[in-house]
A = this chain, B = another copy of it.
Amino acid sequence: MRRSIVNDPDQLVPEALEGFVLSHPARLALDAEHRFVRRAEPATGKVGLVSGGGSGHEPLHAGFVGPGMLDVAVAGAVFASPTALQVLEATKAADSGHGVVQIVKNYTGDVLNFRIAGEISGDDQVETEIVLVDDDLATDTADGGGPGRRGTAATVIVEKVCGAAAEEGQDLAAVAEVGRRAAASARTMSLALTAGTHPGDEEPQFALGDDEVELGVGIHGERAARRVPFTSADGLTDLLLDPLLEELGLERGTEVLAIVNGLGGTYPLELNLVARRLHHRLGDAGLAVGRSLVGSYVTSLDMHGVSLTLMPLDEELRRLWDAPVQTPALTW
C-alpha cells in the first residue's frame, strides 16, 4: 500500500504547479487557468518551444522550461493529455512572432490535442510545426501499423536540442528538422520491478510476481508484452541494452548520448549500477558513452524501474546538447 502526500487528488496538478512556480519565482510564471508554466521573462526573437502532456512524469515537462530549452510546458491531469484549448493558449504564449515548435510524445490524446491547437493557432497567425517523439522500442511494430512507438525519455533530448537550435537563431523549419532527426535516431527500453501508484489510490497499477520483471513497460503503467525473470543489476541492464544495440546497429567507434532514467521509485545507487554496466558493455563493443544523464527525468509516479535511451551523436547533435541550459531540472 502507498499513501500519497496529497490534499484533494482532483486538485493535485494545479496545486503542484503552483508550488513548483512559487519555488522558482525568478525563472517561471504560471497560467493557472490553462495550467501551463512559462518563462518569467518570455524570450523574443527566436522560435518558440512548447511541450506538455499528462502529469506524473515530473520533472518532465515543466522542469525543462528556461533558457536553452522550453518556453512553455502545459500540464494535463495525471497521465491524461491537456485539452486542445490548454495547448492552444500555451502555444500562443510560446510565440514571439517566429513560430512555435510543438514537441509531442506519441500518444493518441496528446497528438490529437496538439494537432488541433496547431491548426487553430494558425487563425491567430501563429505558425507551428509538430515534432513527434516516438522512441520506445518496446512498441515498435514491424509493419508500422497501429499508433506507433510511444514517446518516452528521448523527449528530454528532443527538447534540449530544439531548445539550443532555437537559441542559436535557427528558423522554424530548421528547429523542427533537428528535433525530428534526434527523435528518429533515439530509442528507449524500459523495465519495471513495481508499478506506480496513482495519487489517492492505495494499490499500484499492476502487480508482479516476486520473480518477475515487466520488460518493455510504458510510462503510464501500460503493461509490457513480456514478463521475464528477476535478475541482477547487470542482467537487468543487459535486458534493456541488447535490443537497443540490435535495433540501432551502431558501428564501432560511434559515440552515443545515453540517458539512464529512473522511473520514480529508483534510487541513485541503483541507477549508478546501470550506468556502470552500460559503460562496460559499450566499451566492450567498441562504442563510447560520449554524453550521458543519470537520474530521474521522465518518471511514472513512483514506479520502481529504469529506462535506457541511446542516441548516436554527430557533430551537430553534440553541439546542441552541450549548449548552455538553465532550467530547474537541467542546468549547465
Contact = CB atoms under 8 A, between A and B. Distances in A.
A236 B4 CA distance: 11
B269 A304 contact: no
Contacts of A6: 232-233, 270, 273
B232 A7 contact: yes
A283 to B, nearest CB: 9
B19 A274 contact: yes
A29 to B, nearest CB: 15
Interface stretch (A55-63, A101-109, A113-121, A123-131): A55-63
Contacts of A299: 267-268
A63 B20 CA distance: 23
A7 B267 contact: no
Contacts of A185: none
B276 A5 contact: no
A2 B194 contact: yes
A273 B12 contact: yes
A194 to B, nearest CB: 7
Question: How many of chain A's residues touch chain B, expressed as a range?
Answer: 35 or more
B269 A58 contact: yes
Q: Is the interface of A mostly helix, strand, loop or mixed?
A: mixed
B234 A23 contact: no
Interface string A173-207: 00000000000000000000110000100000000
Interface in A1-45: 1-7, 12-13, 15-20, 22-23
A267 B23 CA distance: 16
Contact of A272 (B16, B210, B279, B306): B16
B276 A15 contact: yes
Given A2-B304, A19-B274, A23-B279, 8 more contacts: A5-B233, A16-B276, A22-B276, A23-B272, A23-B292, A56-B267, A58-B268, A199-B269
Interface of A: 1-7, 12-13, 15-20, 22-23, 55-56, 58-59, 63, 78, 193-194, 199, 210, 230, 232-234, 236, 260, 264-277, 279, 289, 292, 294, 299, 301-302, 304, 306, 326, 331-332
